Amino acid sequence: MATCEVCGNNYGMTFEIHAQGAVHVFDCFSCAIHRMAPICEHCRVQIIGQGVEVEGHWYCGAHCARAEGRAGIVDKV
Protein backbone atom coordinates (compact mmCIF):
# COMPACT_ATOMS: atom_id res chain seq x y z
CA MET A 1 0.00 0.00 0.00
CA ALA A 2 1.07 3.55 -0.68
CA THR A 3 0.28 6.81 1.08
CA CYS A 4 -1.49 9.77 -0.54
CA GLU A 5 0.79 12.79 -0.54
CA VAL A 6 -2.13 15.17 0.14
CA CYS A 7 -4.28 13.54 2.82
CA GLY A 8 -1.90 10.88 4.14
CA ASN A 9 -4.39 8.06 3.59
CA ASN A 10 -2.68 4.67 3.39
CA TYR A 11 -4.74 2.98 0.70
CA GLY A 12 -4.40 -0.13 -1.44
CA MET A 13 -5.73 1.52 -4.60
CA THR A 14 -3.55 4.64 -4.80
CA PHE A 15 -2.38 5.78 -8.22
CA GLU A 16 0.64 7.62 -9.54
CA ILE A 17 0.84 10.66 -11.76
CA HIS A 18 4.14 11.20 -13.54
CA ALA A 19 4.62 14.88 -14.44
CA GLN A 20 7.66 17.00 -15.26
CA GLY A 21 10.09 14.37 -13.98
CA ALA A 22 8.34 13.82 -10.64
CA VAL A 23 6.08 11.02 -9.43
CA HIS A 24 3.04 11.92 -7.31
CA VAL A 25 0.89 9.42 -5.36
CA PHE A 26 -2.80 10.03 -4.63
CA ASP A 27 -5.69 8.03 -3.24
CA CYS A 28 -8.42 9.90 -5.17
CA PHE A 29 -8.95 12.39 -7.98
CA SER A 30 -9.90 15.07 -5.47
CA CYS A 31 -6.45 14.95 -3.87
CA ALA A 32 -4.77 14.88 -7.29
CA ILE A 33 -6.69 17.98 -8.39
CA HIS A 34 -5.90 19.74 -5.12
CA ARG A 35 -2.16 19.23 -5.62
CA MET A 36 -1.77 19.34 -9.42
CA ALA A 37 -4.31 21.83 -10.84
CA PRO A 38 -2.94 25.28 -11.66
CA ILE A 39 -4.66 28.27 -10.09
CA CYS A 40 -6.11 31.14 -12.14
CA GLU A 41 -3.99 34.21 -11.55
CA HIS A 42 -7.06 36.46 -11.69
CA CYS A 43 -9.94 34.77 -9.85
CA ARG A 44 -7.85 32.17 -7.93
CA VAL A 45 -10.06 29.18 -8.92
CA GLN A 46 -8.33 25.83 -9.51
CA ILE A 47 -8.26 25.15 -13.24
CA ILE A 48 -9.65 21.68 -13.81
CA GLY A 49 -10.54 22.10 -17.50
CA GLN A 50 -8.57 23.50 -20.41
CA GLY A 51 -7.59 26.88 -19.01
CA VAL A 52 -5.60 29.52 -20.87
CA GLU A 53 -1.84 29.93 -20.64
CA VAL A 54 -0.35 33.26 -21.70
CA GLU A 55 3.41 33.83 -21.46
CA GLY A 56 3.73 31.39 -18.56
CA HIS A 57 0.69 32.67 -16.66
CA TRP A 58 -2.44 30.53 -16.14
CA TYR A 59 -6.06 31.70 -16.27
CA CYS A 60 -9.32 29.76 -16.11
CA GLY A 61 -10.52 31.42 -19.32
CA ALA A 62 -10.10 34.29 -21.73
CA HIS A 63 -12.22 36.62 -19.57
CA CYS A 64 -9.78 36.38 -16.67
CA ALA A 65 -6.78 36.69 -19.00
CA ARG A 66 -8.22 39.89 -20.48
CA ALA A 67 -9.01 41.19 -16.97
CA GLU A 68 -5.29 40.86 -16.24
CA GLY A 69 -4.42 42.92 -19.33
CA ARG A 70 -3.64 40.08 -21.74
CA ALA A 71 -4.70 41.07 -25.25
CA GLY A 72 -6.00 38.95 -28.12
CA ILE A 73 -7.09 36.01 -25.99
CA VAL A 74 -10.32 34.28 -26.98
CA ASP A 75 -12.11 31.20 -25.65
CA LYS A 76 -12.54 28.37 -28.16
CA VAL A 77 -15.99 26.78 -28.24
19-69 per-position pLDDT tens digit: 999 999 999 999 999 999 999 999 999 999 889 999 999 999 999 999 999
Quick check: 18 and 25 in contact, CB under 8 A?
A: no
pLDDT given for residue 72 in this prediction: 84
- Does pLDDT of 77 surpass 70? no
| Reported pTM | 0.77
Q: Which residues of 31-53 are buried (b: 16+ CB within 10 A; e: fewer)?
A: bbeeeeeeebbbeeeebeeebbe
pLDDT at 75: 75
